[in-house]
Structure 1
Amino acid sequence: MTPTIGVLALQGDVREHLAALAAAGATAIAVRRPAELAAVDALVLPGGESTTIAKLARTFELFAPIQHRIRAGMPALGTCAGMVLLADRVVDGAVGQETFGGLDITVRRNAFGRQVASFEGEVEMAGSANAVGTVPGVFIRAPWVEEAGAGVEVLAQDPAVGRIVAVRQGPLVATAFHPEVGGDARVHSFFVDLVRASVGDTLSARPA
């Protein structure tokens, strides 16, 4: 069955994520309102500026509903700023930094440096359930994971500095890089498969 996956459409590469999700076999919709959030099986939190996204989520009355859905087991994929938003703990965060939480990780915000330090490189991404392979990694003011809890699976490390740049904990996945850039939908396919496995009973109950 086809899952419906939303992309939080307040800032960031919304169109690119929508296109990658569609290429991976999902029905993809932009989420700007609580009613749109209620209609999705899973959610992508795109890159951008994590504090701005959190503030806009409060303005659009989405912060608490997203936090509730994540705590209730909704699958979510966070990329770059989205990784920060899924983290339980943030190092070098802005004053009053808020996150949705859910991932037992400590992330360092803007760990790879400012915009001028952005770079691209290949990332070997693998998981115990489904190896993704070598994917292009676009790092733009990217975070990295300083510490991961015992229940967190490390999916990828940056080959240059050895820092954790992709993780999974249950139905939650986060990458420090932007997998939506460059036309490679394998990370999104990995997530779509996870969504199908996580909410399979709900999907199978829908009309074909």
Structure 2
Amino acid sequence: MKAGVVSVQGAAPEHVRALQQAMAGLGVKGAVVSVRRPSDLEEVSCLVIPGGESTTISKLLRRFELHDRIVRMAEEGVPMMGTCAGCVLLAKEGDAEVEKTGTRLLGLMDMGVDRNAFGRQRESFEAPLDIAGLEAPFPGVFIRGPVIRKVWGDCKVLSSYGDKIVMARQGNMLALSFHPELSGDSRVHEMLLKMI
């Protein structure tokens, strides 16, 4: 098994470690690779699009010729997880900020997102989240996270914080407002690996 982490900008190293921890926890042998160019995607069994700055990641995905390849892989059924900025990029609909910045979304999930809905960096927080499929609450780490404003079609809500949707799944794709890679808990990464 080979898991990939898009590593053009953002919290990629933390996802690499979390995936390694998840593989160990599941007793799965495999490698985790940093994805910076199309050739890095060869034989990748699943892919994480990390948090960071969604506009910058969007531009770099196009510059490094990863955008269309990632869309194709998702459409072919490769499991993917987008966290924070990655969640924004997976959406079919963005907010006014997405339009203003010219961010080109991957447009893969039937959901609309609002960027930075949880405020500024200094307003970051952690909260226990009930996630469908997990027995005990998950420590959700929110850092300038987006909110999934709405879902439709085949996109299903997996977790909410109050009245805000913070995790959704559509087929082989997971979208999260929060940062599971910063929690020390590998269960969400294990969920991704189990989708392979």
TM-score for both structures, normalised by structure 2: 0.91
Please report the RMSD computed on the Cα atoms of aligned residues, expressed in angstroms. Answer: 1.3
What pairs with 1:37-56 in structure 2 (closer than 5 Å)?
37-56=41-60
Matched, 1:84 2:91: no
Of all paired residues, the percent bearing the same amino acid is 44
How far apart, in 1, do the equivalents of 2:149 and 2:92 lie?
12
Query: Moved runs in structure 1, 4+ residues, more than 6 A?
Result: none
Q: What is the number of equivalent residue pairs in this alignment?
A: 188
Alpha-carbon distance, 1:100 to partner: 1.0
**The 10-residue stretch of structure 1 (58-67 or 28-37) with the greater mean CA deviation from structure 2:** 58-67
2:79 maps to what in 1? 75
Alpha-carbon distance, 1:132 to partner: 5.2
How far apart, in 1, do the equivalents of 2:173 and 2:105 lie?
14
Q: Give the 3 Å change call, closer, same or farther, for CA 132–35 of structure 1 in structure 2.
A: farther
Alignment-mate amino acid for residue 92 of structure 2: D
1:115 maps to what in 2? 121
Q: Give the 3 Å change call, closer, same or farther, for CA 132–85 of structure 1 in structure 2.
A: farther
1:99 maps to what in 2? 105
Deviation string, structure 1 residues 74-133 (Cα, Å, up to 9, x no partner): 21000000000100110131431211121100011111112222111111111xxx3353
1:77 match: secondary structure: strand
Alpha-carbon distance, 1:57 to partner: 1.1
Alignment-mate amino acid for residue 31 of structure 1: V
How far apart, in 2, do the equivalents of 1:39 and 1:11 lie?
22
Q: Where in structure 1 are there 5+ consecutive unaligned residues? A: 196-208
**The 10-residue stretch of structure 1 (7-16 or 67-76) with the greater mean CA deviation from structure 2:** 67-76
Of 56, 64, 76, 1:60 maps to: 64
Alignment-mate amino acid for residue 34 of structure 2: A
**The 10-residue stretch of structure 1 (61-70 or 176-185) with the greater mean CA deviation from structure 2:** 61-70
1:53 match: secondary structure: helix
